[in-house]
Structure 1
Amino acid sequence: MRDAVRPIAALTAAAALLLAVVAPSGSAFDQAKQPSAPAKQAAPAPAQPPEVKQIALTDKQIESILASQKDFDALSDQASAKPGAKEPPNMLAKLDEVAKKYGFANYADYAIVQSNIELVMGGFDPKTKTYVGSEAVLKQQLAEVQADKKMSAEDKKDALADINEALKSPPPAVAFKSNIDLVGKYYDKLVALMQDDE
């Protein structure tokens, strides 16, 4: 059942990757250099995932995402070939090269399109293949996990915690409603792509 939570988790991971690649800032580094705060100070609230830069998607962008995946997977395999190994040199340049090959300005442009697709996919009911919104999908997943008699108690506890956490900080509403129809048009291919990535 944890697989059902993955589209939302993927969105968060993609947004975090995008933020790390596109707009690296020294804020975390600067905070690390500051002297530690007194113990009496309250811990800050957990950081919200970075907001997705929403754009109106096109057929060409989605087709390019689908076509490029094998090349990006090859880079990913290359990067993770040896556990604990350092990232290959010039990885961002290699990512940019693959992105440009498929019509994107650079890897950051690719990541924005990917994040927008994942944002919409997170709101599709996998059974009906219709868009119902991410909150409705999460609530449906919550009910399914609670009703699952075959799931181990530990797995159920973990899945419920994941879903409840996702419900506390849901992704933003889809700003471009045309993206819903467009992603729906490619739904089966996109689901297959997401399953291949797992």
Structure 2
Amino acid sequence: TNAEVADIFVVAAVTDKEKGAHGISNFIVERGTPGFEIGKKEKKCGMRGSPTSVLHFNDCKIPAVNLLGELNRGYPQFLETLDGGRVGIAAQSLGIAKEAFKRSMLYAQERKAFGRVIGDFQAIQFKLADMATKIYAAENMIYQAAFLKQNGKPYKKEAGMAKLFASEAATEIANQAIQIHGGYGYIREYEVERFWRDAKLLEIGEGTSEIQRLVIYRQWKEDISKI
């Protein structure tokens, strides 16, 4: 992520093959390091403002001083970063969902069909009501996860639930925004198709929706007394 514009990279590498996940360490790699090359920019469906490229390492030697944290402790570092990242992804999803909803609400008051603005039709009203409800729920889930994180309390399952719900809600809301805009929704000038393309990545990044469901289930299983 952002390889095309970044000067510093964090790379996870196997430092002890016999220890499996407990034999991974994180290293800082700087642009221009001999043997380190950045591949071509990938042609992505969405999120094009964040360039993605493959990193190539050919006999690339990284000095020990570039070790980030402790040796063979990269995996727990990675997991901790993921939890915080999931709250961020959820917030990103919320932003996309809100704008898609706003554009749809405004369009529904302007676009006319059969002599009436389409916002007068119950089918459109139901879509907009569902959008608003999902946004409200997602926002509260995000604030709860962020509150727990900020106060140093466990928040893994809350982060997973916020990320799962908000990302899937953003994709669905963006999809419904296209439906409300009709044929215009498929035209780039109206941008709602971009909301869908950007939102879809959020169901995948920082752990797919399927991974989130596994994390959520396991966390609740361990904490079943709080149900």
TM-score by length of 2: 0.27
- Where is the strand percentage greater, Structure 1 or Structure 2? 2
User: Structure 1 length as normaliser, TM-score?
Assistant: 0.30
**Greater gyration radius:** 2
Looking at both structures, which has the greater relative contact order when contacts are Cα pairs under 8 Å and sequence separation is at least 6? 1
